[in-house]
């Protein structure tokens, strides 16, 4: 189990599952096997010998000493995901791994989701002994960015209200196009997520909607990184003069650090996604900002340094000697 320390904060990665190799081939269209094999630093952590990109799904527990915050909530167990069946009906040891990391369900004070795609929200609820969906973390506020929550709920209601949902739905969320979906299945999928995952939290009075770039706990802040979805937010951590940045799907795979202009087929706005990545990587290259990737395999995190026409992730912390301070990086947009 990987852990990192940022000032007084302890960050623990809690693994949920590897994504089946090949499932996401082509998601980043430019990253063909030949091209991927040309980036040495993809190996062995982020690609296989066939040039296929590697992905997994995990959450981060951020223990600030005052609050325990879970960032992203994976797929969850036993969920109904007709839009992405391989992520549905799971029975993983996620909660046991959380225990092994030293945290019970009741220890989590807040849950943050970078965006509300099904692989980032699932553990907000679980089935109890009677099979009823209940909040997994009974003492946790589910703190979501209001715009992102409204984007999600809009996918449910657009089709119901005016029958024009086909164009609205597919245009709003290209992941639907990337994965088999027509508008109906996206709308139906969204309703299922609402019913199984968010409604139990709402019923328990635990949902809290916050503005863009909100600080959720001392040193734990949402940072607007739109592109993958229209209101996608990464999460920035600051403690004791050190900082970390949890990407969410703003950087979907490390190959997008090598070539920030390569967006994912699942992005809502590929250009916004690319523009934000360029600005972010430019601003943090050579700094000691620790970048943690929500779908990154292998080392799963590192520091960004310039590399030819792009950047790379390194495990070696840039020395303080002249290193630019990352303090202004994507931190003061509110
Ligand atoms: Zn994702």
Separation of 59 CA from ligand 1 center, angstroms? Answer: 11
Per-residue pLDDT, 57: 97
- Write the DSSP assignment of 253-300 as a string of letters: STHHHH-TT---TT-S-HHHHHHHHHHHHHHHTTS--EEE-TT--TT-
Gap from CA of 58 to ligand 1 centroid (Å):
10
The answer as to whether 34 is a domain residue is yes
246 belongs to a structural domain: yes
- What's the CA-to-centroid distance between 248 and ligand 1, angstroms? 7
> CA-CA distance, 169 to 171, in Å (whole number)?
5
- Spacing, Cα 13 to ligand 1 middle (Å): 15
Q: At what angle do helices 183-193 and 165-172 cross, to 10 degrees?
A: 70
pLDDT of amino acid 244: 98
Rounded distance from Cα 250 to ligand 1 centre (Å) = 9
Res 156: pLDDT: 86
Nearest in space to 252 (alpha carbons), one of 232, 236, 222: 232
21's CB contacts (< 8 A; 6+ apart) are 48, 52, 54
Residue 311's CATH number: 3.60.15.10
Cα–Cα dist 296/303, whole Å: 13
287 Cα–ligand 1 center, Å: 26
What's the 285 CA to ligand 1 centre distance in angstroms?
24
Domain membership of residue 224 (yes or no) is yes
Please tell me the distance between residue 324's alpha carbon and the centre of ligand 1 in angstroms: 30
Distance 122 CA to ligand 1 centre (A): 11
pLDDT on residue 275? 95
The alpha carbon of 244 and the centre of ligand 1 are apart by a number of angstroms equal to: 19
Q: Is residue 333 part of a domain?
A: no
Q: How far apart are CA 63 and CA 56, in angstroms?
A: 22
C-alpha 246 to ligand 1 mean position (Å): 12
CB 282 within 8 A of CB 261: no
Give how many domains the chain has, as a whole number: 1
Q: How far is the CA of 295 from the centre of ligand 1 (A)?
A: 7
Say if 334 falls within a structural domain: no
Q: What are residue 17's DSSP bridge partners? A: 57
Please identify every stretch of the chain with a pLDDT value under 70, giving residue numbers as ranges. 157-184, 320-334
Is residue 300 in a domain? yes
Query: What range does the domain containing 69 cover?
Result: 3-328
If you measure from the C-alpha of residue 322 to the centroid of ligand 1, how many angstroms do you get, rounded to a whole number?
Answer: 35
Domain for residue 172, yes or no?
A: yes
Q: Domain for residue 180, yes or no?
A: yes
The CA distances from residue 159 to 153, 169, 175, in Å, are: 11, 8, 17
């Amino acid at each position: 189990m990987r852990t990192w320390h940022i000032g007084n904060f302890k960050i623990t990665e809690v693994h949920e599952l590897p994504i089946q190799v090949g499932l996401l081939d082509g998601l980043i269209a430019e990253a063909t096997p030949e091209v991927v094999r040309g980036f040495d630093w993809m190996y062995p952590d982020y690609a296989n010998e066939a040039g296929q990109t590697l992905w997994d799904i995990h959450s981060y527990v951020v223990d600030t000493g005052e609050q325990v915050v879970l960032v992203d909530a994976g797929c969850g167990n036993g969920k109904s995901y007709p839009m992405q069946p391989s992520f549905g009906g799971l029975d993983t040891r996620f909660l046991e791994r959380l225990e092994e990391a030293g945290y019970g369900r009741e220890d989590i004070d807040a849950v943050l989701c970078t965006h509300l795609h099904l692989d980032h929200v699932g553990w907000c609820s679980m089935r109890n002994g009677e099979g009823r969906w209940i909040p997994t973390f009974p003492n946790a506020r589910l703190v979501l960015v209001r715009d992102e929550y409204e984007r999600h709920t809009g996918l449910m209601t657009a089709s119901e209200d005016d029958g024009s949902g086909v164009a609205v739905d597919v245009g709003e969320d290209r992941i639907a196009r990337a994965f088999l979906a027509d508008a109906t299945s996206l709308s139906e999928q969204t309703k299922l997520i609402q019913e199984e995952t968010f409604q139990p939290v709402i019923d328990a009075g635990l949902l809290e909607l916050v503005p863009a770039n909100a600080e959720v706990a001392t040193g734990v802040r949402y940072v607007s990184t739109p592109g993958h979805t229209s209101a996608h937010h990464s999460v920035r951590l600051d403690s004791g003069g050190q900082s970390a940045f949890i990407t969410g799907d703003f950087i979907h795979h490390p190959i997008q650090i090598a070539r920030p202009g390569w967006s994912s087929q699942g992005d809502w706005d590929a250009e916004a996604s690319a523009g934000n990545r360029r600005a972010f990587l430019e601003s943090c290259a050579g700094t000691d900002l620790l970048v943690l990737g929500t779908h990154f395999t292998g080392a799963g995190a590192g520091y960004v340094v310039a590399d030819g026409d792009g950047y790379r992730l390194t495990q070696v912390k840039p020395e303080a000697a002249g290193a630019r301070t990352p303090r202004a990086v994507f931190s003061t947009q509110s």
